[in-house]
Structures are given as structure tokens and as C-alpha cells.
């Protein structure tokens, strides 16, 4: 098990056990970003090859969009095991 910092929507805070480390969000510059804030190498339209500048910008933002359009801007430290939520860190 390890501790990671994850982003949540308000709705997800009520059901964090359904969340996974590899859940994807959309950064404000259309880069796909993982729940832990690490940018992928893809844009929202599927185009691969994100530039280092775009990755850096995406990772520096605190607000992202969930696939359904909800805003994800609440960050919490969580205990993770095999990419799954275990509990909120103390």
C-alpha cells in the first residue's frame, strides 16, 4: 500500500471506494490526466504526442473535468492498494 494525492468530484467524495488511480480526467488544456494528477501522452480528441509544455501545464492545474463534465477540484491524500482506494490518509 502507498499514499497518493488524488482529485475528486464532489459526488465521488461520497463514494471514494469506486475510484481508481487510473481514472482519467480532462485538464483545462485538453490533456488527459490521471486521478493522481499525472498527465498522459494523449489529448481529449485521442491525438497522441502531448508536448512537454502541455504536460507541465496540465499537471500544474488543480481543477480538471470528469468524463461526465463534473468539476474535479478537491484533492485528498489517500491510501492506495493495487490502484484501488483503501481509505483517506490520516
22 lies in which domain range?
2-88
Express each pLDDT in 51-89 by its tens digit: 999 999 999 999 999 988 999 999 999 999 999 999 999
- In angstroms, the Cα distances linking 47 to 15, 40, 51, 56, 57 are 32, 11, 11, 17, 17
- Cell numbers given for 62: 488543480
% of residues, the chain, pLDDT over 90: 96
Q: Grade residue 2 by pLDDT with cuts at 50, 70 and 90.
A: very high
Q: For cell 487510473, name the residue.
A: 22
The number of folded domains in the chain is: 1
- pTM exceeding 0.95: no
**DSSP code for 20:** B
* Contact yes or no for 66/74 (Cβ under 8 A): no
| Contacts with 60 (C-beta within 8 Å, 6 or more apart), sequence order | none
- Cell numbers given for 89: 490518509
Express each pLDDT in 15-26 by its tens digit: 999 999 999 999
Q: What is the pLDDT of residue 67?
A: 87
Amino acid at each position: 500500500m502507498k499514499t497518493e494525492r488524488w482529485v475528486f468530484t464532489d459526488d465521488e467524495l461520497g463514494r471514494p471506494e469506486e475510484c481508481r488511480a487510473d481514472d482519467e480526467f480532462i485538464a483545462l488544456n485538453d490533456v488527459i490526466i490521471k486521478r493522481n494528477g499525472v498527465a498522459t501522452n494523449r489529448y481529449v480528441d485521442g491525438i497522441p504526442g502531448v508536448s512537454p509544455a502541455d504536460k507541465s501545464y496540465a499537471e500544474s492545474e488543480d481543477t480538471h473535468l470528469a468524463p461526465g463534465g463534473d468539476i474535479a477540484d478537491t484533492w485528498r491524500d489517500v491510501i492506495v492498494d493495487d490502484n484501488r482506494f483503501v481509505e483517506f490518509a490520516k
